[in-house]
C-alpha cells in the first residue's frame, strides 16, 4: 500500500486526549477524523483542549457502514481496562465493559474499508485474556502483522512506574521496521530505537531498580510558582494529606521525595483514597530521606506529605504544558480522568514506530 499524504485516524475511547497527544508527539503525518467516547466529562476536557467534541454515544450502536464512511487508515483504541485488572473480577470478555471492544473487532470483519493499521492499549493482564485471543484471531484473519509490547515510562526516562500492554498491527502488504523482531511479547523499547530520539540501547534489559537510576528526578515534574502554578497557601488547603489519614493509613502509603527516581501509578481513585492509588510527596525541607522500611507515624507527620497536583500527574503522563481542564471540572474528576489516561512518553514512540514506513 502506498502511503497517503496524510493518514486518516479514528480514535476510540478517546478520554481526555492522551492518545491524540501521543499521535501529535509521534510526528506522524496523521489527522484524527473522528473520536469516540461515552463519557461526557472526558469529552468536555477533550473539546477544551482540541476544539473538537468526540462523538458521544455507545460504540456498540455503530455499524460497519458507519465506520466505512470515514475511510480511516488507522484505528487507535484504549478500551476499558476493568475486565482485565488484577484487582477486578477478571471476567474478561464476559464483562459488559468489554462488549464494545468485541463489537469493534466484529465490525472490522464486515467492512468495505477496514483499517490498515491498529493500535490497542490496555493494562498488564490483557495479554492473558480471552479478549486478547479474539483480537489476535481477528487480526490474523485480516492478514495483519502484529507487534506486542509491555512497556513502562521508566524505560523512557520518566520516574513513573506504569507498565502497560500495547498491540501494534499493520495489514499486509504493509511491513514494520526491524522485521526480524520476534512476534513474542516484547518487554523492551529496543526495536523502537531507530524511530526514537531518547531511548538508548543500554536501557533495554534493565530491571526497574536499574531503570530508576537513569530516570529524571521527581522534582523535574513538580509545578513551580514561576510556571503560574499553585501557590503554597493553596497547596496547604487542597493538597496536604490530612493527619487523620496519616494516622490510619500511614504505613500503607507510598512516599516519595523530590529527589526520588520513581513514583507509583496514579489511579482514578487518587486523592479520594491514599492506599494503593499513587504516591504522596514529602515536602519538608528540614528532613533527609527516611529509609523505606515502615516509619513511625510520628515521623510521617513531620514529612509534610501532600498529594501531587493534577498538573503534576499530567506531567508524569508527559502531557504538554498546553493541556488543561475546563473550569467546571472538579478536582476529583480531574484525578479520575488522569488516572484513566495513558503515557505520551511511551505511546508517542510506539505510534512513530507504527506509522513509520518499512
List active site positions.
81
Cβ proximity of 134 and 102 under 8 Å: yes
Instruction: From 185, 179, 140, select the one nearest 163 (Cα to Cα).
Output: 185
Cβ proximity of 165 and 127 under 8 Å: yes
Which residues pair with residue 77 across a beta bridge?
12, 120
Cβ proximity of 271 and 332 under 8 Å: yes
Positive/negative CA dihedral, 236, 242, 247, 249: negative
Which residues pair with residue 167 across a beta bridge?
120, 148
Angle at 15 between CA 13 and CA 16, to 5 degrees: 155
Instruction: Output phi, psi for 165, to 5 deg.
Output: -90, 140
Please, where are the H alpha helices in the chain?
18-26, 40-50, 64-68, 99-108, 130-141, 208-214, 232-238, 243-249, 297-301, 310-316, 331-339, 344-355
Q: Which stretches does DSSP call E strand in 51-138?
A: 74-77, 117-123
Pairing of strands 280-282, 305-307: antiparallel
In this structure, the number of other CB atoms found within 10 A of the CB of residue 156 comes to 23
Instruction: From 131, 78, 166, 154, select the one nearest 354 (Cα to Cα).
Output: 166
Instruction: From 300, 271, 344, select the one nearest 15 (Cα to Cα).
Output: 344
C-alpha cell at 158: 520518566
Amino acid at each position: 500500500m502506498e502511503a497517503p499524504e496524510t493518514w486518516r485516524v479514528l480514535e476510540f475511547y478517546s478520554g481526555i486526549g492522551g492518545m491524540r497527544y501521543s499521535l501529535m508527539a509521534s510526528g506522524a503525518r496523521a489527522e484524527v477524523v473522528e473520536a469516540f467516547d461515552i463519557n461526557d466529562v472526558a469529552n468536555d476536557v477533550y473539546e477544551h483542549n482540541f476544539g473538537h467534541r468526540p462523538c458521544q454515544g455507545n460504540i456498540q450502536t455503530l455499524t460497519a457502514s458507519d465506520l466505512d464512511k470515514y475511510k480511516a487508515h488507522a484505528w487507535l483504541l484504549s478500551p476499558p481496562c476493568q475486565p482485565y485488572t488484577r484487582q477486578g473480577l477478571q471476567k474478561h470478555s464476559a464483562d459488559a465493559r468489554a462488549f464494545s471492544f468485541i463489537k469493534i473487532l466484529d465490525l472490522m470483519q464486515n467492512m468495505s474499508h477496514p483499517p490498515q493499521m491498529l493500535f490497542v492499549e490496555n493494562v498488564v493482564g490483557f495479554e492473558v485474556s480471552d479478549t486478547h485471543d479474539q483480537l489476535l484471531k481477528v487480526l490474523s484473519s485480516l492478514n495483519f502483522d502484529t507487534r506486542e509490547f509491555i512497556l513502562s515510562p521508566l524505560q523512557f526516562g520518566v520516574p513513573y512506574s506504569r507498565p502497560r500492554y500495547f498491540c501494534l498491527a499493520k495489514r499486509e502488504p504493509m511491513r514494520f521496521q526491524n522485521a526480524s523482531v520476534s512476534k513474542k511479547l516484547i518487554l523492551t523499547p529496543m526495536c523502537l530505537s531507530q524511530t526514537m530520539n531518547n531511548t538508548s540501547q543500554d536501557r533495554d534489559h534493565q530491571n526497574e531498580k536499574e531503570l530508576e537510576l537513569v530516570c529524571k528526578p521527581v522534582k523535574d515534574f513538580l509545578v513551580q510558582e514561576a510556571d503560574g502554578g499553585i501557590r503554597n497557601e493553596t497547596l496547604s488547603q487542597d493538597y496536604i494529606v490530612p493527619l487523620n489519614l496519616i494516622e490510619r493509613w500511614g504505613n500503607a502509603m507510598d512516599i516519595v521525595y523530590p529527589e526520588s527516581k520513581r513514583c507509583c501509578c496514579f489511579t482514578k481513585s487518587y486523592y479520594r483514597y491514599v492506599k494503593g492509588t499513587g504516591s504522596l510527596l514529602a515536602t519538608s525541607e528540614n528532613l533527609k530521606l527516611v529509609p523505606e522500611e515502615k516509619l513511625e507515624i510520628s515521623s510521617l507527620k513531620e514529612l509534610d506529605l501532600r498529594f501531587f497536583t493534577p498538573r503534576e500527574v499530567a506531567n508524569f503522563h508527559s502531557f504538554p504544558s498546553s493541556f488543561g481542564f475546563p473550569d467546571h471540572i472538579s478536582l476529583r474528576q480531574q484525578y479520575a480522568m488522569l488516572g484513566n489516561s495513558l503515557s505520551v512518553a511511551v505511546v508517542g514512540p510506539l505510534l512513530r514506530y507504527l506509522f513509520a514506513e518499512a
